[in-house]
Amino acid sequence: MNARVEDYLAAQVASRAEADAVSDVTGIALSYGGLDAASDALVSVLEDAGVQKADRVLILSENCVAAVALLFACWKLGARAIPVNARQTESEVDRILAHAEPAAVFMTTSVSKDAKAHATRMGGHEISGDYGSLHMKALTSKPDAEGDVAVLLYTTGTTGDPKGVMLTHSNVRFGGLTSANLRNMKHEDVIYGVLPTTHVFGLCSVVVAAVYAGAPVRLAPRFEVAKLYAALRDGVTLFSGVPQMHALLMQYTKEQGLEKLGSETLRYVSSGAAPLDPTWKREAEAFYGVAIQNGYGMTETTAGTSATSNPIGNSDTSVGPALPGIEIGIDEDVPGGGAGVGEVITRGPHIMKGYYKNPEETAKVLDANGWMHTGDLGRIDDHGLLHIVGRSKELIIHGGFNVYPPEVEAALNDHPKVVQAAVVGRRKDGDEEVLAFVQLADLDALDAESLGAFVSERLVGYKRPKRYVFAKVLPAAPTGKILKHKLVETFADQLD
């Protein structure tokens, strides 16, 4: 029988059943033996609801013990878990329901007001056990054909048909093992799990990696800067986040009158979902007191494709070399390509099986030789390190010149008053203008003229933003990643 994700849990139960495994804000804390027993109890719940092997189970959740126990229950039964963030709107959830046709829907009502709202709308009933409580609604469905699909992860977006990324047990196991090895996870580590388990990063690089390594995870349902600050000063050793989390934590700490975090235990910090800016990297390392690692991946590549393992103070701002067992290449024959820059392609055991019920879209990104065409622009330097330049669809062509948003964002983020920035293009008068959306802790601290003068010392004229929009908050996904496709719509009243 092929190896499965739940085998990682079984290995911990066999050797360390009493060791701490998962805990959450409701006060639920389970050992590895307890997590195993809780998932067994949920297998019975699934079976009583009529869920069969190769059925789909939708989990509308925010991070909690019950959600993790349900994932393992699905895998033990042979069902396919569909983790979806409960903060998705009714229409977004309904589109996924219509596409996935699950046999049951579970909602983590104990930690999420949004899950409660979905539960009220859908009906069903509460169940409870050592894992805490969940709301369940049984539906009528037809199992898929046999196969080793572990999860369906629906990619972020509000337009077009939903795309469910099929990740196999082999994919998820590889993602967890690789992430644990990269971080050198040990039993003694304590991991802060605020990245959503409904996203591939939180699912594979945090939860599955921790179970593989036998380390405990403190689950947080959503990002709250004060709680993150407290946790990192109270025993946490590993923290993986996204730029917004790091930026807000640094700002919060300054508001406490401190320049550095001051954790005695933190040993590993990573930042994903965006390129690192050199100035910000130096500031963040001084703040945390440890090296800031970066990496690159996407849902279709089971989170990780490349990652750094640099010592503190290293000036490298790449996303590192390919992870063990993974190949990376550059296809220069794309818009924005040439002169060493092109579309990042990758293949290996991290590549998805395909898009659920969508062979046409699958064929667009997976070629006959097994290469995944990511849609991201990048280059590989002489040391074999991958540098992400931007999304091919986000490339701005202004005055006939290629403008890569990450380069402009890096210049903006250099300003000490800027928390973070996002850059997009907008068609106007037959050209594309560069728009900058800038998050500030204090809206009176900076104006367009001052920031424009600052940027002009760092960027050639055609790369400089035409317009600046300042805000205290930018639209973001539950992971903290800025939703660039919503920027112009959100701030339409501040644009011409």
At 275 the pLDDT is 65
Integer distance in angstroms from the first to the last C-alpha of the chain?
61
* Spans of all domains in the chain: 6-170, 223-392, 395-494
Q: What are phi and psi of 335, to 5 degrees?
A: -55, 130
Q: Tell me if 84 sits within 8 A of 59, measured CB to CB.
A: yes
Whole-number Cα distances in Å, 430 to 271, 338, 436, 468: 37, 24, 19, 21
At 395, which amino acid appears? L
The tens digit of pLDDT for each residue in 340-372 reads 899 999 999 999 999 999 999 999 999 999 999
Q: What gap in Å lies between CA 134 and CA 71, rounded to an integer?
A: 13
**β strands within 320-430, DSSP E:** 327-331, 342-347, 354-355, 372-380, 386-391, 396-398, 401-403, 418-428
Least confident residue range of 183-197, 216-230, 264-278, 296-310: 264-278
Mean pLDDT of 415-420: 90
Q: What are phi and psi of 447, to 5 degrees?
A: -130, 170
Alpha helices in 50-168 (DSSP H): 65-77, 90-100, 113-122
Fold for the domain defined by 395-494:
GMP Synthetase; Chain A, domain 3 (3.30.300)
Closest CA to 5 of 156, 210, 157: 210
At 483 the pLDDT is 85
* Domain 223-392 CATH class label: alpha beta
Sheet architecture: strand order including 418-428:
418-428, 431-440, 467-471
Q: What gap in Å lies between CA 455 and CA 131, rounded to an integer?
A: 52
The two domains 223-392 and 395-494 share their CATH topology (first three levels equal): no
Torsional sign, CA 140, 146, 149, 154:
negative
Q: Tell me if 346 sits within 8 A of 371, measured CB to CB.
A: yes
Torsional sign, CA 392, 393, 399, 403:
negative
Q: What gap in Å lies between CA 153 and CA 164, rounded to an integer?
A: 5
Whole-number Cα distances in Å, 83 to 38, 196, 203, 381: 18, 9, 9, 37
- Name the CATH code of domain 6-170 (choices 3.20.10.10, 3.40.50.300, 3.40.50.12780, 3.90.1410.10): 3.40.50.12780
The tens digit of pLDDT for each residue in 206-262 reads 999 999 999 999 999 998 999 999 999 999 999 998 777 888 899 999 999 999 999
Mean pLDDT of 50-65: 97
At 158 the pLDDT is 36
Whether residue 276 is predicted with pLDDT greater than 80 in this model: the reply is: no
At 2 the pLDDT is 84
With a pLDDT cut of 90, the percent of the chain lying above it is 71
The tens digit of pLDDT for each residue in 385-400 reads 999 887 777 878 786 6
At 459 the pLDDT is 84
